[in-house]
Amino acid sequence: MEIIVRFKSLFSLMNLIVFAVMIVSYIAMIYLSLTFFMVGNIAILWLGNGIAIALFLVCSTKRWLHLTLGMISAYIIGIYTYFGSFEIVQIAFLTANVSSVILSAAIFKQLCKEPICFIDLRQNIFFLIVLCMMNALLNVTIGTTALWLIADFPPVLSNGLVWFVGNAVSIFASTLTAFHIVNSVKHRTLSLRISQSKLLELAVLCTATLLILVEVFGRQHYNKFTVSLIFLLFPVAMWVALRFNHYITSVWITVVFLACGFYSTVKLGPFMFMFNDLSYAIFYMQIYIFTACSTALLIGTINTEKESKNQMIAKLNQQLDNLTKIDPLTKIANRRKYDESIKSALAIANSEGTPLTLIAIDIDYFKLFNDEYGHLAGDDCLISVANGINQNLLRVNDIVARMGGEEFFCILPNTDAEAAIGIMQRIQASITALNIPHQASPVKPYLTVSMGSCTVSKSDNIDAMRLYQQADMALYAAKEQGRNTFVTTKFTDALT
């Protein structure tokens, strides 16, 4: 039974899709490499391995068998259909490609246990060391050994060095872009949100890149001055790395490598002027482009990490600032938040000519409540009252703050005296509905509150301290009237 289940799992729909994607993408890259990047019988950019590594990194290890079978099948089909035959010497290259991809991907995944996204410095360093350098070294070592054993081709150091650089460059040129595309498709996050100004900057960058590729790398050079223009690639590489995200940077790197690789195959570019030998020109072109782009990649990653940390610090500082403005017991605004909010609300009221109401609220005989039921019950009472008040403040800018002890203040922007009365009635009803016993109260056998409000209009000379004092005086008047009631007043310039 277990064997049958495993057999069905081997041919599940997802496994077949993974197998098919590997075959189609790898064959496409074989044709691209053999059509546009062939020099003699050597492809200076072998893009299939970059696509394969991207698929191995995105897919879970339980699908690696299907990826491996797909890679082997794709290589055999691609080589056979392109050349019309599959010679025994190709087994050496097939062994080298498959082994190096699987081993380097396994080592990279082991080193980067966290989700792979290539947006931190550590993963990008491992990418250069493991997926580019180590993969190329494995490819050369396994390939030359296999050629020696199968076809009796002894290793040649110079050929091995060219093979090494070509493989490292090919992985660098194709893996990052392929990974971002495949990973985005898998997680359905393939979207680029970019501002209009950033889009304009990107257009300028693309224009600058195109001019450099066409005018510097895409034509014949006849003097040393025009050859020196190759250094224009460095500031543009820094530009894209420091100003744009990792996805755009990786696409830019791929475009630069493909363009320079193609120009080299047709014997164009500054390196043909410096080296009459085509193999030398291509070799040093690859090293130069790899150096410029890898430096930009690492600098851009460092800059991205720095910006990310700065954003995190700013967010934490904002959270800390918010915590210092919240009463730890009731979780509503505290005195500091009140002072900040009343100044802002008064400034808006003055500039827009809208009314503003401040309500002062005090729990009736709260000291007697604490003496009767204890301080823990008193804390629960404060929390319940704060929630009861807060649920009646329905607008975003309405704020209730605990000013200390059992006293609360409500800031109500764009609220006149009549509207304030309705709010106080609802608050009073909410506190009554809590039905908190208060047998020690001379007013009622349950908890009650007294309230006083002060409303300012557009004609008033508004002052925060006087507004506070007059609302507090209205609260005192409510207490004088027997408590469990409210008193409304209008703001006056002079205290009476």
- Which amino acid type is present at position 456? V
**Residues counted in the chain:** 496
Distance CA 274, CA 224 (A): 9
Q: Which one, of 474, 485, 327, 488, lies nearest residue 401 by Cα?
A: 327
- List the 356-363 sheet strands across, edge first: 399-404, 407-413, 356-363, 449-456, 486-490
Centroid of chain to Cα 464: 42
The two three-digit tokens of residue 261, written as one number: 């690789």
Distance CA 172, CA 164 (A): 12
Task: Give the CA distances from residue 219 to residues 228, 268, 285, in Å, rounded to whole numbers and listed in that order.
Answer: 14, 5, 14
Count CA atoms closer than 13 A to 388's CA, side-chain side. 25
What pLDDT is recorded for position 494?
59
Contacts of 384 (CB under 8 A, 6+ apart): 434, 436
What pLDDT is recorded for position 191?
61
Q: What pTM does this model have?
A: 0.71
Distance CA 71, CA 484 (A): 81
Count CA atoms closer than 13 A to 226's CA, side-chain side. 18
Q: Which one, of 278, 294, 275, 288, lies nearest residue 237 by Cα?
A: 294
- Which amino acid type is present at position 426? R
Q: If DSSP codes are grouped into helix, strand and coil, which group holds residue 150? A: helix
pLDDT of the chain, 496 residues: tens digit per residue? 444 444 455 567 888 999 999 999 999 999 999 999 988 778 889 999 999 999 999 998 989 999 999 999 999 999 999 988 888 889 999 999 999 999 999 999 999 877 888 888 899 999 999 999 999 999 999 989 988 888 777 777 777 888 899 999 999 999 999 999 998 888 777 666 677 888 899 999 999 999 999 999 998 888 888 888 889 999 999 999 888 888 889 999 999 999 999 998 999 989 988 887 888 889 999 999 999 999 989 988 888 888 888 888 888 888 787 778 888 899 999 999 999 899 999 988 888 888 999 999 999 999 999 999 999 999 999 999 999 999 999 888 899 999 888 999 999 999 999 999 999 999 999 999 999 999 999 999 999 999 999 999 865 567 888 899 999 999 999 999 999 999 999 888 654 4
The two three-digit tokens of residue 424, written as one number: 């106080």
What pLDDT is recorded for position 10?
58
What pLDDT is recorded for position 276?
79
What pLDDT is recorded for position 459?
55
DSSP letter assigned to residue 45: -
Residue 411 and residue 333 in contact, taking contact as beta carbons nearer than 8 Å: no
Contacts of 216 (CB under 8 A, 6+ apart): 226, 229, 230, 232, 233, 269, 270
What pLDDT is recorded for position 71?
95
Distance CA 185, CA 174 (A): 17
Q: 335-490 sits in which CATH class?
A: alpha beta
* Domain ranges for the chain: 1-191, 195-323, 335-490
Q: Does domain 1-191 bear CATH number 1.10.1760?
A: yes
The two three-digit tokens of residue 63, written as one number: 């699908």
- Which amino acid type is present at position 401? A
Is residue 154 exposed (0-12), middle (13-18) or buried (19+ Cβ within 10 Å)? Answer: exposed
The two three-digit tokens of residue 396, written as one number: 């975003």
Where would I find the beta strands (DSSP E) of 143-295? none
Task: Give the CA distances from residue 9 to residues 2, 24, 57, 70, 180, in Å, rounded to whole numbers and listed in that order.
Answer: 11, 22, 21, 17, 28
Centroid of chain to Cα 202: 20
Bridge partners of residue 453, in order along the sequence:
359, 488
Asked whether this chain's domains 1-191 and 335-490 adopt the same fold, the reply is no
Distance CA 473, CA 496 (A): 10
